[in-house]
Each structure stands twice: as structure tokens, then as C-alpha cells.
């Protein structure tokens, strides 16, 4: 077995290496008894090397692995093994790490046990988290990184529509959004659950939880961080945490429902101008079931009559489906499977 790390670096050093490898492989692959593993950290370049049909190594791979975050179930098991599991802790670790092993390991190695511990580890002098977003993305984006960063900062603040972003920046951003989605896989389009693919009623969201947090709280307040006023940034995080986490909690329950394996469609729903907005819609077309849920950190604030009113227009499109309306909060995380089994 031969392992080559940071394989994309040959683009800078000697790009002819890719053609040389292609020729050697094509000539000797049937006789050679070798397993070659190419590893890279710049997604766009690795994608170009192996998946661009104009590149010499296109079509030469037997398998491509894209390393992903831990599932919520695995994240919960890790916290249980460390003796720090609670539904609230599970969510707080998810908010920052999204289950990414690197970030989870850094927090656990530093002794994080609570939300406040997480904040103190992330927002301190010489924290590896402070420059992580920049380190991950500057090489990807190149000279235009400031424009990309500004767009991502706006998305992290909830400015998720193209028109909204263009209005604030006073320029067309269609090309930037396309590259962020298609070339870099940093953002994804989010449509109402039953919308057509070409609908204009769509929003953008940052795929990675950590990057979303980084742009919202670290990059946005970089001047305070540059003068090491970490207490100022912590106060802002504490002030805005509940509002910020509302969106992340929706994402959390989307993923949690997906991991149950009970549904073939999971998403959200909204109409023009965000009318009749529904946090979670989960559909099982085989069993003709549809679950509509409102999600809040404090589910006591959920009004089921209001939820029923907002759900009515969508349910009219599913007359043959058995509907269930749910109010969900942090306390439902460990018993979600039980709730679903009783429906």
C-alpha cells in the first residue's frame, strides 16, 4: 500500500506528476499488485484531479471517500463514554462541531464538559478554532476570498436569500453562490419540501456547523478578537445563543429523524415571504404518513393551534396521508424513537 498525503499540492510543485501517474497506471494496472491511497485537504482541487473529465486521472479511481461527521447517535455515545452526556450537552457539542471528529477531539482533550467550557476553549488566546475557518477556506477561494467570506458571513446571520444578499452587497452574486455550492460544497440550497427543483423560493445555508458558527461569531467580530477582547465576543455569543440555536436545532432534528430510517423525505416548508413556515416535515410515502413538527429549545412556548393552522395548506396536498403534529424540544432527543413508534 502506498499513501500520498496532500496530493493536491502537486498542482503548485509539478502538475505533470498527474499525467505521469496516469501513464504508469494505464500501462501497469493489471500486472501491479499495489493499493494507492491519495489523500487531500483542499476539496475543490481533489474534486478537479479525479472528477474533472479534462484531467489525466479522471475515471482512474476505484473508490472515493469523503470523510463525514459522526452521526448524532455516535456523538451521543462518545459523550456517554466520557461521562458528560445530557440532551443539552449533546446539542451544545453539535452546535459547534456538527459531529466533526477533529473539533470534538479538541474540545474533549481540553476538558470541555459544558457549554461554558466550550466557549472558553474556543474563545481564548492561541485557540486553534480562531483561525480555523480562514485556514480551511483561503486556499480554496484564492484572491476572491474576501467576497466569499462576506457572503458566508451574511448567510450565517440569516441573510439566506440571493436577493437579500445582493441587496446588501449591491452586486450580482450568482456566480459566487454557484461556486460555493458546486465547486466548494460549502453551502447548499434549501427548498420547501414539495417545491420544484427550479423554484425561486429557496434559501442557502452553510453545510458545516463549525463554519456557520465561525462566520457568525468569530469572523464577524474579528476586530474584537484581534485585540484579544474575548470576553466581549463571549457576551455576544451568550446573548444571541438561543436565537442562533433555533435554526441549528431544526437541522439537528432533521438529522435525528433521518438517522431513524423511517422517512424518505425530510425538510422544512414555507411559502412566499416565509408564510406558513414549518420547521420540520418528515414524509413516509410507502406508509403514507406525514409528520409536521415545530422545534423550540423551550417547547412549552409552542402553540399547537398555530402549528395546525400553518400546516393546513401543506396537508391539503397530502389528502391520503395520515398526519401527525408534534411539538419537540431538547427533552425529546433521547425518546424520539419512542415517540415515533407510538404514532
DSSP labels for 86-148? -HHHHHHHHHHHTT-HHHHHHHHHTT--SHHHHHHHHSSTT-TTTTHHHHHHHHHHGGGHHHH
pLDDT of 30 reads 86
> How far apart (Å, rounded) are the C-alpha atoms in residues 229 and 233?
7
Mean pLDDT by 10 residues, the chain (343 residues): 93 92 91 90 88 92 90 96 96 97 96 97 97 92 93 97 95 96 93 89 96 98 97 98 94 96 96 91 97 95 97 96 96 88 77
What pLDDT was estimated at residue 171? 95
Q: Where are the beta strands (DSSP E) in 135-277?
A: 187-190, 203-206, 265-269
Torsion over CA: 90, 93, 97, 101 (sign): negative
Domain boundaries, the chain: 2-51, 72-122, 132-227, 255-341
Smallest CA-to-CA distance from 46 within 4, 8, 5, 2 is with 8
Using DSSP's 3-state secondary structure scheme, residue 63 falls into: coil
Distance CA 207, CA 185 (A): 8
Q: What is the pLDDT of residue 142?
A: 87
- Topology of the domain covering 255-341: Trna Endonuclease; Chain: A, domain 1 (3.40.1350)
Q: Record the cell numbers describing residue 155, joined without a space.
A: 448567510
Residue 68 bridge partners (DSSP): none
Taking the alpha carbons at both ends of the chain, their separation in whole angstroms is: 51
pLDDT of residue 109: 96
Identify the CA nearest to 140 among candidates 14, 41, 5: 41
Distance CA 318, CA 283 (A): 10
Distance, in Å, from the CA atom of 168 to the CA atom of 162, rounded to the nearest integer, reads 10
Look at residue 160 in the predicted model and tell me its pLDDT.
94
What pLDDT score was predicted for residue 241? 95
CATH fold of the domain at 132-227: Arc Repressor Mutant, subunit A (1.10.10)
Give the C-alpha distances (Å, rounded to integers) separating 286 from 146, 263, 280, 320: 47, 9, 19, 12
Query: What confidence score (pLDDT) does residue 197 get?
Result: 84
- What confidence score (pLDDT) does residue 194 get? 87
What is the C-alpha separation between 35 and 289, in angstroms, rounded? Answer: 47
Kindly give, in sequence order, each residue whose CB lies less than 8 Å from that of residue 314, ignoring residues fewer than 6 positions away. Answer: 193, 194, 269, 276, 278, 281, 292
Given the DSSP bridges, would you call strands 265-269 and 289-295 parallel, antiparallel or unpaired?
unpaired
Would the CATH topology of 132-227 be identical to that of 255-341?
no
Beta bridge partners, 206, equal 187
Residue 169: the pLDDT is 96
C-alpha cell at 179: 461556486
Please tell me the distance from the alpha carbon of residue 270 to that of residue 200, in angstroms, as a whole number: 12
Query: What is the reported pTM?
Result: 0.90
Q: Half-sphere exposure of 16 toward its Cβ, with a 13 Å CA cutoff?
A: 0
Whole-angstrom Cα distance, residue 51 to residue 62? Answer: 12
Sorted by sequence, the CB contacts under 8 Å of residue 261 that are 6+ apart come out as none
Residue 218 CA: distances (Å) to CA of 93, 127, 214:
17, 12, 5
If 0-12 CB within 10 Å is exposed, 13-18 middle and 19+ buried, where does residue 182 land? exposed
The C-alpha torsion from 15 through 17 and 20 to 22, rounded to 10°, is: -80
Q: What is the pLDDT of residue 103?
A: 97
Amino acid at each position: 500500500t502506498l499513501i500520498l498525503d496532500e496530493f493536491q499540492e502537486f498542482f503548485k510543485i509539478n502538475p505533470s506528476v498527474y499525467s505521469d501517474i496516469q501513464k504508469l497506471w494505464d500501462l501497469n494496472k493489471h500486472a501491479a499488485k499495489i493499493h494507492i491511497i491519495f489523500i487531500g485537504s483542499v476539496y475543490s482541487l481533489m474534486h478537479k484531479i479525479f472528477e474533472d473529465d479534462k484531467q489525466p486521472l479522471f475515471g482512474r479511481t476505484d473508490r472515493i471517500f469523503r470523510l463525514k461527521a459522526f452521526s448524532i447517535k455516535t456523538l451521543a455515545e462518545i459523550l456517554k463514554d466520557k461521562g458528560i452526556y445530557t440532551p443539552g450537552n449533546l446539542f451544545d457539542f453539535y452546535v459547534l462541531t456538527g459531529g466533526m471528529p477533529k473539533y470534538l477531539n479538541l474540545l474533549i482533550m481540553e476538558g470541555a464538559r459544558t457549554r461554558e467550557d466550550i466557549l472558553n476553549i474556543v474563545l481564548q488566546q492561541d485557540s486553534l478554532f480562531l483561525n480555523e475557518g480562514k485556514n480551511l477556506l483561503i486556499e480554496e477561494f484564492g484572491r476572491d476570498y474576501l467576497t466569499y467570506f462576506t457572503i458566508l458571513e451574511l448567510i450565517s446571520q440569516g441573510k439566506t436569500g440571493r436577493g437579500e444578499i445582493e441587496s446588501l452587497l449591491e452586486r450580482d452574486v450568482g456566480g459566487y453562490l454557484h461556486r460555493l455550492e458546486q465547486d466548494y460544497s460549502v453551502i447548499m440550497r434549501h427548498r420547501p419540501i414539495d417545491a420544484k427543483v427550479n423554484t425561486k423560493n429557496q434559501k442557502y445555508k452553510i453545510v458545516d456547523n463549525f463554519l456557520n458558527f465561525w462566520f457568525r461569531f468569530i469572523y464577524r467580530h474579528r476586530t474584537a478578537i484581534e485585540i484579544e477582547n474575548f470576553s466581549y465576543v463571549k457576551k455576544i455569543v451568550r446573548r444571541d445563543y438561543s436565537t442562533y440555536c433555533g435554526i441549528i436545532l431544526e437541522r439537528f432534528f432533521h438529522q435525528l429523524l433521518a438517522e431513524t430510517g423511517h422517512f424518505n423525505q425530510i425538510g422544512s416548508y414555507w411559502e412566499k415571504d416565509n408564510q406558513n413556515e414549518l420547521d420540520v416535515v418528515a414524509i413516509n410515502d410507502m406508509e403514507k404518513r406525514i409528520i409536521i413538527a415545530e422545534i423550540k429549545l423551550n417547547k412549552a412556548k409552542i402553540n399547537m393551534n398555530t402549528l395546525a393552522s400553518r400546516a393546513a395548506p401543506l396537508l391539503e396536498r397530502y389528502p391520503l396521508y395520515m398526519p401527525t403534529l408534534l411539538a419537540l424540544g431538547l427533552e425529546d432527543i433521547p425518546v424520539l424513537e419512542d415517540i415515533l413508534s407510538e404514532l
